[in-house]
């Protein structure tokens, strides 16, 4: 049988299809302004027997498809545990929210913290800051890594931080050093979230689109003094977890 997991997020939608425990298909699309139709288009011509939905748009999907759903926390926990058995901490930074999750030694969620009320410390924040500094998003992390120093950024509000960036540029500070400071500010916020939910010496699984940012990854490892594991497809962790749970709940 084929089991599918779909993660309908605020910025993108991911789909994973499993057969005999193996990934046989994966797909991704932008969420746009009509997530349900985007999800339907993603599923067009896909073959599966059962599907489980997660993400902020899961309720819409549940009504339309009469399909069961699971919270993002449970989906990310199951997906991360599959990719890194024994992991005790998960950090997910997506387009418009971030979450830190602590797991027991058997992979059950014990505690979590989630920021979904503002863009601070999320992919959207980095996107806005990259544009303010004239970088493409894919170049932002590498540019920040090349900086000789990190400037202090006081505000994590996207609006105020953009004004602060403009002021620093006017003072003659280099874009790369401002970028490094912005990345460091995101990492400080993420580390604080992780430390509030769990303090463990084991590796941390870093998921979500921001996990593709090499500077955030490096600074996290330096700050935590732990191994930070980034899956090959970090945005697919929630969809993978949902697909696994779809099979296990039958």
pLDDT in tens, 68-119: 999 999 999 999 999 999 999 999 999 888 999 999 999 999 999 998 666 7
Q: Where in the chain is the domain with CATH 3.30.420.40?
A: 1-84+235-250, 87-230
pLDDT at 158: 67
Fold of the domain spanning 1-84+235-250:
Nucleotidyltransferase; domain 5 (3.30.420)
Class (C level, CATH) for 87-230: alpha beta
Please enumerate in sequence order all residues whose Cβ is within 8 A of that of 71, keeping only pairs 6 or more positions apart, or say none: 54
Average pLDDT over residues 206-220: 97
Q: Are 60 and 36 contacting, i.e. CB atoms less than 8 angstroms apart?
A: yes
Predicted TM-score of the model (pTM): 0.93
Closest Cα to residue 9, out of 134, 116, 120, 90?
A: 116
Q: Which two tokens stand for residue 132?
A: 């303010």
């Amino acid at each position: 049988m084929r089991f599918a997991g779909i993660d309908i997020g605020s910025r993108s939608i991911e789909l994973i299809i499993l057969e005999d425990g193996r990934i046989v298909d994966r797909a991704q699309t932008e969420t746009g302004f009509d997530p349900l139709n985007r999800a339907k288009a993603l599923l067009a011509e896909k073959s599966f027997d059962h599907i489980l939905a997660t993400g902020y748009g899961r309720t819409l999907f549940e009504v339309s498809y009469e399909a069961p759903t699971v919270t993002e926390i449970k989906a990310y926990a199951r997906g991360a545990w599959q990719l890194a058995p024994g992991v005790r901490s998960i950090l997910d930074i997506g387009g418009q929210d971030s979450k830190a999750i602590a797991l027991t030694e058997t992979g059950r969620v014990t505690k979590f913290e989630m920021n979904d009320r503002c863009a601070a410390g999320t992919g959207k924040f980095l996107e806005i800051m990259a544009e303010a500094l004239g970088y493409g998003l894919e170049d932002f992390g590498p540019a920040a890594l090349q900086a000789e120093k990190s400037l202090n950024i006081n505000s994590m509000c996207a609006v105020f931080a953009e004004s602060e960036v403009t002021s620093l540029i006017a003072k003659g500070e280099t874009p790369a050093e401002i970028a490094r400071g912005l990345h460091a500010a995101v990492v400080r916020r993420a580390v604080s979230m992780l430390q509030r939910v769990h303090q463990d010496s084991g590796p941390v699984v870093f998921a979500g689109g921001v996990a593709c940012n090499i500077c955030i990854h490096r600074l996290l490892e330096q700050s935590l003094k732990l191994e930070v594991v980034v899956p090959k497809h970090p945005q697919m962790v929630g969809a993978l977890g949902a697909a696994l749970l779809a099979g296990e709940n039958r």
